[in-house]
A and B are shown apart, each in its own frame.
Chain A
Amino acid sequence: MEARGVGYSYRETVALCDVSLTLPMGETLAVVGPSGCGKTTLLSMIAGLLTPTEGILLVGGKPVAPRRPGTALIMQDYGLLPWKTVFQNVALGLQIRKQPLDAAHQALAEVGLSHLASRWPHQLSGGQQQRVAIARALALSPDLLLMDEPFSALDALTREEMQEMLLDIWRRRKTSIILVTHSITEAVYIGQQIVVLSPGPGRVVGHFRNPAVGDRKSRTFHEMVNAVRDALEKGVADRG
C-alpha cells in the first residue's frame, strides 16, 4: 500500500491533506490521531469506499479500486447483521463472492468461537462480536486488513486480549494490517509503523518505526508511547 500526497475534501472542508506513507506487504501500520483528524476518511479511501480528491493511492501496486477482493474492512460497530447467525455472518463475504463456505468454519475456529456458530449476534458479548467481525474478514483470506477503532468499545482487559489475538493472527497469516485508533498504547502494541495525524485538516505530524510491537512491558515500548504522545500533543498545539 502506498499513498503519495493523498488528500480528501468534502465541499469546502478539507478532511485530510498531503498524506504520504508506504506499507510493505505483510507489515502493520497504526494511525493515531484525535477525533476529527480524518482517520476514518483515510481508511475509507484505502478500502475503496471513498475516492481521494488529491494525490495517488496505490494498493497492491494498482490505483485503489472499489471492491478489491484482497481488502477486508472491519468497522467500529462490527457491522454484523442481526438476522444472521454467527456462522452466516462469517460466511457472508464468501456467499456474496460465491466461494465455498469451508473457510468460514476455519476462520471461526481461529478466533475461538466455533461453539457459538449458531447463536445470534445480540446473544454475544462485545468482545465476541468483535471476534465474529474479524473472522468474517479472515474468511476471505485478505492480504490487507483495515480496522477502524476496532476495540474502542471494549473493556480494558478484553481489549488487550483482542490485541494479542490480532497479533497472533498477523504472525500466522502475515496479512498487512492498517489499524486506526485513538489509543496510543494500542498503536504502539500493534503498529510496526506509527503515523500520527493532527486534528482537522488531518496532516501527518509524526511517523515512527516502532521496534516495540507486541511487547507491552519493555522500556522501548514506554519510550515509544511517550514519543507518540509528544507528536500528538504538538499536532494539537500547533493548530491552536
Chain B
Amino acid sequence: MGKRRRWYHYLIALAILIAGWELLAIWLDIPAMPRFWDAHVAFFRGMTRGPLLKHFGVSVYRVGMATLISLALGVPLGLYLGRSGGPVGSILVYLVHPIPKVVLLPVIIVALGLGDSAKIFLITLVILFQIIVTVKDAAASVSPGLIRSVQSLGGGEWDIFRHVIFPACLPAIFTALRLSTGTAVSVLFFAETYATQLGLGALIWDAWSARAFDLMFAGVMAMALMGFGFYMLSDWLEKLACPWAHARQ
C-alpha cells in the first residue's frame, strides 16, 4: 500500500495520460490515432445516446461474472493446496497454468455456443489459475507460530482456519484479484473479437473495420474505465476486509 490517494492525485494522473496521448497523436498525425478531444466526444456521445453503454454493460457483466466464479473456485482450491493438498495437486496446477487458455476458444465455442457463457468460461479459465497459485503460496507461508498460538489456546483445525489461515491469506486474495483484472480485460477483448456483435471488443473491432477511429478509441477508453473501476472496487473491498493493514502506526 502506498500513500493515501486524494482527489487531486487522480486529476494529475489523468492529465499526464491525456498529455501523453495528445503528444503521440500530434507526432504521429495519422487517422488511426485521433486527438483526445475527438475520441472523448465520441465516448460521451456513445455512453449517453449511442450503443457504447450497452457494449460496456455486457463487457462488465462478463468480466464481473468470470471474476466472481474464479474467486469462488480459486480461493478454496488455493487454500486447500497450500495447507493440506498433496504434491499431485500442485504439479497439476503448474502443468495447466502455463497453457495459453485462449487457444481453447474454438473448443469452448463448440461446447458452449456464441453467447456470454463461452466468454465467461474462457476468462475464468485464465484468471482462475492466477488466483489459485497466489492464494496457495500465501496459505503455505502462514506463520507456524501463529498456528501454535491458537493451538495453545485450545483451538482445533476449524479455529486455526478461521482465525489464522483465512485472514492471513486475505491480502493475497486481493493481490490476486488486482493481478487478474488486467488479464481478464485482455482475454475479454480477445473473446469478444470472434463471432460476436456485443461487447467492447466487438465494438472496437467493428469500428476499426469501418475506419471509425474516434469510436474505436471511445471503446478503448471504456475498456480502461472498466479495468480502473475493478481496481478501485477491489481496493475499497480490501480496506473493508483488512482494516488492520491500513491502520496507522
Contact = CB atoms under 8 A, between A and B. Distances in A.
Contacts of A79: 145-146, 148-149, 152
A59 to B, nearest CB: 14
A195 interface: no
A21 B27 CA distance: 86
Interface in A135-161: 136, 140
B1 to A, nearest CB: 13
A69 B168 CA distance: 26
B154 A67 contact: yes
A9 interface: no
Interface in B144-182: 145-146, 148-155, 159, 163-164, 167-168, 170
B163 A81 contact: yes
A119 B159 CA distance: 22
A88 to B, nearest CB: 9
Interface in A92-139: 92-93, 96-97, 119-120, 122-123, 136
A96 B242 CA distance: 21
B152 A49 contact: yes
Nearest to A71: B152
B244 A92 contact: no
B248 interface: yes
Contact of B153 (A82, A84, A92): A92
B248 to A, nearest CB: 7
Given A75-B145, A96-B159, A122-B249, A83 B244 contact: yes
B110 interface: no
Contacts of B148: 49, 75, 79
Contacts of B154: 67, 69, 93, 96-97
Nearest to A76: B145
Chain A interface extent, by class: 20 to 34
A119 B154 CA distance: 24
Chain A: interface secondary structure?
Answer: loop
A140 B164 CA distance: 20
A119 B249 CA distance: 10
B151 A92 contact: no
B210 interface: no
A98 B80 CA distance: 27
A122 to B, nearest CB: 7
A81 B153 contact: no
Given A67-B154, A97-B154, A81 B146 contact: yes
A72 B152 contact: yes
Contact of B249 (A77, A80, A93, A123): A123
B150 A92 contact: yes
A73 interface: yes
Contacts of A32: none
Given A81-B163, A83-B167, A122 B149 contact: no
B247 interface: yes
Interface in A46-63: 47, 49
8 contacts: A72-B153, A75-B145, A79-B149, A81-B149, A84-B163, A92-B163, A96-B154, A136-B153
Interface of B: 145-146, 148-155, 159, 163-164, 167-168, 170, 242, 244, 247-249
Given A72-B153, A80-B149, 18 more contacts: A67-B151, A69-B154, A75-B152, A77-B145, A79-B145, A79-B148, A79-B149, A81-B150, A82-B244, A83-B168, A92-B150, A92-B153, A92-B163, A93-B153, A96-B159, A97-B153, A97-B154, A140-B153
Interface of A: 47, 49, 67, 69, 72-73, 75, 77, 79-84, 92-93, 96-97, 119-120, 122-123, 136, 140
Report the 10 A-B pairs with minimum CB-CB distance, sorted nearest first.
A79-B149, A93-B153, A83-B167, A73-B152, A120-B244, A96-B155, A83-B244, A67-B154, A120-B247, A96-B159
